[in-house]
Amino acid sequence: MDIPILYEDEHVFVINKPSGIVVNRAESVKEETVQDWAAPNVLRDGFVPATDNEKVFVERAGIVHRIDKETSGCLIIAKTVTAFTDIQRQFKERIVKKTYLAIVHGHLVPESGEIRAPVGRLPWNRERFGILPGGKDAVTKYTVMRTGNSHKTDISLVALYPETGRTHQIRVHVKYINHSIIGDWQYAGRKTARADRLWAPRVMLHAWKVAFMHPDHHTELAIEAPVPDDMKSII
């Protein structure tokens, strides 16, 4: 696979994951994944994991976190068990800072704010998430960068700053405030998503920036993934 590398040293990769590629292997996934690409670049021949951390590192081929198949952008992959453990800790302690770009329906008012609502898996549809009273705490801050109209639809370019990392958090949160992401086949509604897909080929969400402390020399590493062409053309 042609996966652009945004940063690399002996401890860590940061890649620019293209849209359409699944991050982790699964029985339901038949195509090549980021994990398949990462394994030969990360795992040493003959390495036999002994500790729980080493086993998880090998099982995930160093992939520290995930982004959805149709989402593009920054993804961190550790090259060593030490780096993997340290960056995992940073995610848990909310040291890692992420910025996403999304093109959403409508014009947000106010133009900056915070969405605070618990996210959980829907009991009646295990593939989808939603705002549930018993869900996990989730917080997303946002800022509108630009507004406009495309294909007779009001749209906004929004920067989003998730302070927690729940599955589908951004997609669920913007849907919750009635500004679903353009092309989101799971959360925008079937009719809306079908109309979107006539001019927007995927979920218009991009993991734009990530910042974390380098696992070896402990200085901040800030990486930015260029905005992909399919989003640029709409912007």
Q: Annotated catalytic, 68?
A: yes
- Nearest 5°: CA angle at 119, between 117 and 123? 135
3-class DSSP string for 144-194 = EEEEEEECCEEEEEEEEEECCCCCCHHHHHHHHCCCCECCCCCCCCHHHHH
Query: Which of the following is catalytic: 2, 9, 45, 68?
Result: 68
Of 7, 42, 37, 41, whose CA–CA distance to 22 is shortest?
37
Give the Cα separation of 104 and 196 in Å (integer): 11
Cα torsion at 227, 228, 230, 233 (round to 10°)? Answer: 40
Coil, helix or strand at residue 119? strand
Helix axes 52-59, 81-92, angle to 10 degrees: 90
Nearest to 214 by CA among 98, 90, 99, 100: 90
Q: Give the active site residues.
A: 68
